Amino acid sequence: MASSQQCSDLRVVLVGQERVGKSSAGNTILGKKEFNCRISLSPLTLSSEKKQVDIDGHRVSVVDTPGLFSTRLSADEVKAELEKALQLSPPGPHVFILVLQLGRFTPQEQEGLKALQKMLSANVSKHTMLLFTYGDRLEDTDMDIEMFTREDDNIQQLLQSCSGVYHVFNNKMENRDQVKELLQKIDNICDNGQSYYGRRSESGWGSVLRTLRENKWLVCGLIPCGLILCGLILGARRMLPQQCVRKIKIFVVMSRMWDKVIVFQDSSKSPIFILNSQALNFEFLSSLFLNNVAGTY
């Protein structure tokens, strides 16, 4: 897993079929009408859109997306909008909320998670939870949400294929307790903000950010860079030669670990990559990697 920048940040992406209440759910989370959810005969959300708000010490960002099986967008356009949703949630969403309308579970909705995996990656499943809208429909029955999910084999299969976490909304914005409960469940999924969805494994992109945060410096290159790195590990920062931070050039090289790697080159032409995370804005650095390390983010 990758690591997050701030534990107080929660980055949420809403996904699902058209007309299941994604935009309304987003407004419920935000506590105000930010996404267009008026009554319409055709889907209103055709592009990914981000809104954010502070809730109980969390800076919560919510990205609303078009339907996974949109009737107005091609499959490639839907995929492009999901890619946009990732770019709107740097360095990656903490959770994908697959929105389902309570009492309506169509074959397409059963395939929602598979469609998400196909468009992004298989790894997205463990960062995905279910959110049922129109929860007030249960009020006229003798069932609660636990009984409802337990008795539906298709929903059980879907839960087994993702994080296994689910929640229910009545989409009444004045009911803030349901939002607090949702945020707690998201915290549990992402280990209080410590993990998020990323296409790079822990040995790749995730470790870059972790190294920058924990060790403050990242050094990549050939000898004598190995000596420098050893010195840094031992805490001997005085081993850094001054020329490494003078007259640097920036170029891009190919790598087996990443599609692209931004490398700083010193005046001696020795390949070296040195970043001081205290001197750079970490949010900007994350965005820089997301936009340049792999264009498919």
pLDDT in tens, 284-293: 444 444 443 3
Q: 261 versus 69: which is more confidently predicted?
A: 69
DSSP at 107: H
How far is CA 30 from its chain centroid?
18
Preceding omega of 93 cis (within 30 degrees of 0): no
Residue 142, pLDDT score: 83
Residue 7, pLDDT score: 45
Domain with CATH 3.40.50.300 in the chain: 9-189
Pairing assessment for the beta strands 128-133 and 95-101 based on DSSP bridges? parallel
User: How do residues 179-227 score in pLDDT, each as one tens digit?
Assistant: 999 999 999 999 877 789 986 533 344 444 444 444 333 444 444 444 4
DSSP at 253: E
Most confident of 109-113, 184-188, 189-193, 228-232: 184-188
Answer whether 272's CB lies under 8 Å from 229's CB. Answer: no
Virtual CA dihedral for 278, 213, 92, 208, nearest 10 degrees? 110
Residue 279, pLDDT score: 36
Q: 252 versus 110: which is more confidently predicted?
A: 110
Query: What is the C-alpha separation between 24 and 169, in angstroms, rounded?
Result: 10
Residue 40, pLDDT score: 60
Least Cα distance to 119 among 71, 74, 159 occurs for 74
CATH architecture of 9-189: 3-Layer(aba) Sandwich (3.40)
Residue 37, pLDDT score: 75
**φ, ψ at 248 (rounded to 5°):** -80, 150
**φ, ψ at 273 (rounded to 5°):** -135, 110
Least Cα distance to 175 among 25, 7, 14, 1 occurs for 25
First to last CA, the chain: 16
Query: What is the C-alpha separation between 179 and 193, in angstroms, rounded?
Result: 17
